[in-house]
Amino acid sequence: MSAEKTAITPTRAQDFPEWYQQVIKAADMAENSETRGCMVIKPWGYGIWELIQQQLDRKFKATGHQNAYFPLLIPLAYLEKEAEHAEGFATECAVVTHHRLEAVKDPVSGKTKMIPSGELSEPYVIRPTSETIIGAAFSRWVQSYRDLPLLINQWANVMRWEMRPRLFLRTAEFLWQEGHTAHETKDEAIAETRLMHGVYEEFLRDHLAIPVIPGEKTENERFPGADMTLTVEAMVQDRKAIQAGTSHYLGQNFSKAQDISFTGRDGGIQHAHTTSWGVSTRMIGTLVMAHADDDGLVLPPRVATQQIVIIPVTPKEDSRQAVLDACHMLAQGLRGSSFHGDPLRVHIDTRDLQGGVKKWEWVKKGVPIRIEIGPRDIESGKLCFQRRDQSSAAKEFVDRDAFLGEAVELLQSIHDTLLLRATEFRDANIAPCDSLDAFNAHWSGENPGWLLTPWAGTPEQEEELSKRHKITIRCLPLDKQDGEALPCFLTGAVTKSRAIWGRSY
């Protein structure tokens, strides 16, 4: 453990879960709400989500999807139609049973209490996911093969009654997008499932600088009611896994339960093949755990609420206006440039605070580039800038005009550095394993990293190992399912399949 003073205590090495909470607090991203298990997302954190939403939404629309909105309340009968799906979410459901409150005065205390009354004839479930209610709409919208494919996305909130909440990673209510599509054939639906899986992999890598392993979930880990679940798995700095996004081929399970049927090309009645896919505000928690350091948040530039912050340095009042003018001129010049198609987001911090206070606030918020401009910088035509992917003490001095031309390249360099750092860390913490003894020994440590094993076990054997070591098969990596034939580390059966095992959030 380093003796160097850090902005965040405890450090990652001392207490990773508490460090995570303190990073979010120091960056002023979110806080716990009065509603148990729920959070308030503050402007800095919500700004990150808005950018994720905008950039993903463009990708969805570029692949032919349209946005729609569906009810928050789902009739209980809809969930009962798809028993396996409903059972998978049953313990997490919040249920609305009444439609009115009555004011009743307590005879002892004299205080007025609000008592639920007007019991509903049928309870409603606050959506934990929307396959059933969207499927009901699809059953009305689809009559013929000519109505297909249906490519729909919804940006919404959902509720899953979380017993151990953690900001962004697990909260009872969270924000997400959920794509739902219906197709004429199985092949078309599987192609859609793989397409959106690829969109998530690309987004995490190219926008969040998070390398992920794309793979398929085992039968035990599939989405309830799905025939196939594809996942992108990220490793964070305590070597645990986070499921960063999933895409599901639902087969005809939901369409048969909800009668999403159509007249086919041969004149017969067929059931649609459906998919669903989604990512949530959990992406922000993944980003924090993947990139933040002991001084606070570190933001990849494409999703940084502000990409460049300019801090005026005005030791004397008579130089203040000249410095501010120089800051505004620089900001205006920078905003004329674009980074991956969007104008640079530049903020000038003119608050009446000491420079050191401002600096550390922006360090903790994770702004990719900080610039200081004072009277001497104006005279010399230079400026001082600092990159958040480097030490907080590291400074670079450059001509003002040169910086205007280099800012976009600097932001890309920061992204590339974060991605390379995270990739090297992940790869260094995935170990091959081909024996049961080595497998059992590996999990004796608290956070030992992932194992890659030959795998030919049964769902029952997988479940037994998972319970014994508090681990799961994170995925069957797509690029490692046709490798060298090797004996399974557990059963000895020869297999070309590989599984990644790890502890997770």
- Given this model, what pLDDT does residue 266 score? 97
Query: Are the CB atoms for 59 and 72 separated by under 8 Å?
Result: no
Quickly state the pLDDT bin for 3 (edges 50, 70, 90): low
Q: Which residue has better confidence, 319 or 16?
A: 16
Q: pTM value?
A: 0.95
The Cα–Cα gap between 228 and 222 comes to: 7
Quickly state the pLDDT bin for 258 (edges 50, 70, 90): very high
278-312 confidence digits (pLDDT tens):
999 999 999 999 999 999 999 999 999 999 999 99
Query: Are the CB atoms for 145 and 264 separated by under 8 Å?
Result: yes
The Cα–Cα gap between 253 and 273 comes to: 8
187-211 confidence digits (pLDDT tens):
999 999 999 999 999 999 999 999 9
The counts of H helices and E strands in the chain are 14, 27
Residue 133's H or E segment, with its range, is helix 131-141
The Cα–Cα gap between 283 and 169 comes to: 8
Amino acid at 232: V
Question: How much is the average pLDDT of 333-338?
Answer: 97
* Token pair belonging to 332: 């205006």
The Cα–Cα gap between 147 and 289 comes to: 43
Quickly state the pLDDT bin for 106 (edges 50, 70, 90): confident
326 has pLDDT over 70? yes
* Token pair belonging to 413: 């360099």
Domain residue ranges of the chain, discontinuous segments joined by +: 16-94+129-291, 306-412, 430-502
Compute the C-alpha angle 142/148/151, nearest 5°. Answer: 100
Render 215-254 in DSSP notation, one character per residue.
EE--GGGSPTT-SEEEEEEEE-TTS-EEEEEEEEEEETHH
The Cα–Cα gap between 92 and 306 comes to: 36
Query: Are the CB atoms for 287 and 208 separated by under 8 Å?
Result: yes
Residue 100, C-beta contacts closer than 8 angstroms, at least 6 positions apart? 116, 117, 118
220-248 confidence digits (pLDDT tens):
999 998 999 999 999 999 999 999 999 99
Common-topology check for domains 16-94+129-291 and 306-412: no
54 has pLDDT over 80? yes
446-460 confidence digits (pLDDT tens):
889 999 999 999 999
Fold of the domain spanning 306-412:
Rossmann fold (3.40.50)
Fold of the domain spanning 430-502:
Translation Initiation Factor IF3 (3.30.110)
Residue 94, C-beta contacts closer than 8 angstroms, at least 6 positions apart? 125, 126, 159, 161, 172
- Given this model, what pLDDT does residue 1 score? 37
113-151 confidence digits (pLDDT tens):
999 999 999 999 999 999 999 999 999 999 999 999 999
152-166 confidence digits (pLDDT tens):
999 999 999 887 889
16-94+129-291: which CATH number, 3.30.930.10, 3.10.450.50, 3.40.50.300, 3.40.50.10070? Answer: 3.30.930.10
The Cα–Cα gap between 195 and 193 comes to: 6
Bridge partners of 176, per DSSP, are 156, 280
The Cα–Cα gap between 420 and 450 comes to: 19
- Given this model, what pLDDT does residue 319 score? 87
Q: Which residue from 350, 351, 292 is spatially nearest to 7, judged by alpha carbons?
A: 292
